[in-house]
Amino acid sequence: MIFIKSFYQKPFKECNEWLSGYTALSTSTQIQGINVSMFRFDEDFLQKTKNAIDNALAEGAEPIAAFDADGTLWATDMGENFYKYQFHNELLQGLPEKPWEYYVDLHAREPETSYLWLAQINKGHPLEQVRKWARETVHTHPDIMTFAGQKEIIKHLHLRKVKVYVVTASIKWSVEPAAALYNIPQENVIGVQTKIIDGNVSSEQEGPITYKEGKVKGLLAATGGKYPFYAAGNSHGDLPLLESATHLRMVLNSATQDNPLFETERKMIELAKERGWLHYSF
């Protein structure tokens, strides 16, 4: 399936060519034995983005990059996928009678509380068991739609010795195996988590809730207070992370009109245009 896209970008520093128009080709491939759908972007756009990265690093930018996860690296919500996998397979005890409806209602009222709750319900289970469930979620998910363009950008960042982090409002353990598809180690995944006591998950919060401003707090805790030169996100919740970047910011819009994220992504694209940030829409 071929998608024709439109793109607008204000050039970065000395990069004076405007980027316009790119083609995304949806393909299917295997990564680490997992069938995934990928969106491949025009090589000209990718090269110009890589050049902007190289220019920033040549100017002395701190070699740290940060990516949101859901909607930025893949077109799904790995945290919610993990939760669904857990309750459909009856892996957890003591969940509400209607586990999905309970979560949706809690998230609508208190999003930060809901993110922490998804970690707390794993209380008493060995961390390695929870991580095993997360890997199973990724391996059994019927349609992991990753963005090949982001994979190419991350590969380029790695080649340039940039330390790449994934910063997510989902629980950390649920995102780790999906981040591995981009060769990002689990220690570079920053997300909501609870303390591990004697190898088991507890209900006590560990670190900030990595949502909105909490994403920046979590990242700075991991980097020793160093800000990223490059950040990527898709929703309003990623705005503090994007604004924390010193050089380059990328906004992605992949939500369709029937998706609850469509409006926030549309507004983020408009903001990116106003501020001259990298951006593209499907």
Cβ contact 62:114 at 8 Å: no
Distance CA 131, CA 167 (A): 18
Q: Is residue 139 part of a domain?
A: yes
Cβ contact 222:117 at 8 Å: no
Give the residue-averaged pLDDT of 1-30. 33
Whether 67 has a pLDDT exceeding 50, the answer reads yes
The strand order across the sheet containing 34-40 reads 144-147, 34-40, 19-31, 2-9, 278-281, 248-253, 230-233, 64-67, 163-171, 189-192
Domains in the chain, number: 1
Q: Is residue 32 part of a domain?
A: no
Q: Is residue 9 part of a domain?
A: no
Whether 255 has a pLDDT exceeding 90, the answer reads no
In this predicted structure, which of 22-26, 54-58, 107-111, 174-178 has the lowest mean pLDDT?
22-26
Query: When comparing pLDDT for 105 and 17, which is higher?
Result: 105
Domain extent at residue 133: 57-281
Nearest residue to 189 (alpha-carbon basis) of 165, 205, 213 = 165
Q: Is residue 149 part of a domain?
A: yes
Query: When comparing pLDDT for 7 and 202, which is higher?
Result: 202
Cβ contact 264:100 at 8 Å: no
Whether 84 has a pLDDT exceeding 60, the answer reads yes
- Report the share of the chain in percent with pLDDT over 90: 73
In this predicted structure, which of 52-66, 69-83, 187-201 has the lowest mean pLDDT?
69-83
Taking only the tens place, the pLDDT of each residue in 167-179 is 999 999 999 999 9
Whether 33 has a pLDDT exceeding 60, the answer reads no
What are φ and ψ of residue 42, in 5° steps?
A: -50, 130
Whether 249 has a pLDDT exceeding 90, the answer reads yes
Whether 64 has a pLDDT exceeding 90, the answer reads yes
**pLDDT for the residue 142:** 55
Q: Is residue 20 part of a domain?
A: no
**pLDDT for the residue 72:** 94
Q: Is residue 15 part of a domain?
A: no
Whether 35 has a pLDDT exceeding 70, the answer reads no
Give the residue-averaged pLDDT of 125-133. 98
Give 48's pLDDT tier (boundaries 50, 70, 90): confident
How many Å separate Cα 221 from the centre of its chain?
18
Q: Is 261 left (phi over 0), alpha (psi -120 to 50) or beta?
A: alpha
Query: When comparing pLDDT for 150 and 28, which is higher?
Result: 150
| Sequence-distant contacts of 26-31: CB under 8 A, at least 24 apart | 26/1, 26/2, 27/148, 31/146, 31/181
Average pLDDT over the chain, rounded to an integer: 86
Give 274's pLDDT tier (boundaries 50, 70, 90): very high
The 3-state secondary structure of the chain reads CEEEEEEEECCCCCCCCCEEEEEEEEEEEEECCEEEEEEECCHHHHHHHHHHHHHHHHCCCCCEEEECCECCCECCCHHHHHHHHHHHCCCCCCCCCCHHHHHHHHHHHCHHHHHHHHHHCCCCCEHHHHHHHHHHHHHHCCCEEEEHHHHHHHHHHHHCCCEEEEEEEEEHHHHHHHHHHHCCCHHHEEEECEEEECCEEEEEECCCCCCCHHHHHHHHHHHCCCCCCEEEECCHHHHHHHHHCCCEEEEEECCCCCCCCHHHHHHHHHHHHHHCCEEEEC
Q: Is residue 5 part of a domain?
A: no
Check which CATH number belongs to the domain holding 118 and give it. 3.40.50.1000
- pTM of this structure: 0.86
Q: What is the token pair recorded at 196?
A: 């591990």
Give 89's pLDDT tier (boundaries 50, 70, 90): very high
Q: Is residue 181 part of a domain?
A: yes
Whether 16 has a pLDDT exceeding 80, the answer reads no
Whether 90 has a pLDDT exceeding 80, the answer reads yes
Distance CA 132, CA 125 (A): 11
Taking only the tens place, the pLDDT of each residue in 208-240 is 999 999 999 999 999 999 999 999 999 999 999
Give 39's pLDDT tier (boundaries 50, 70, 90): low
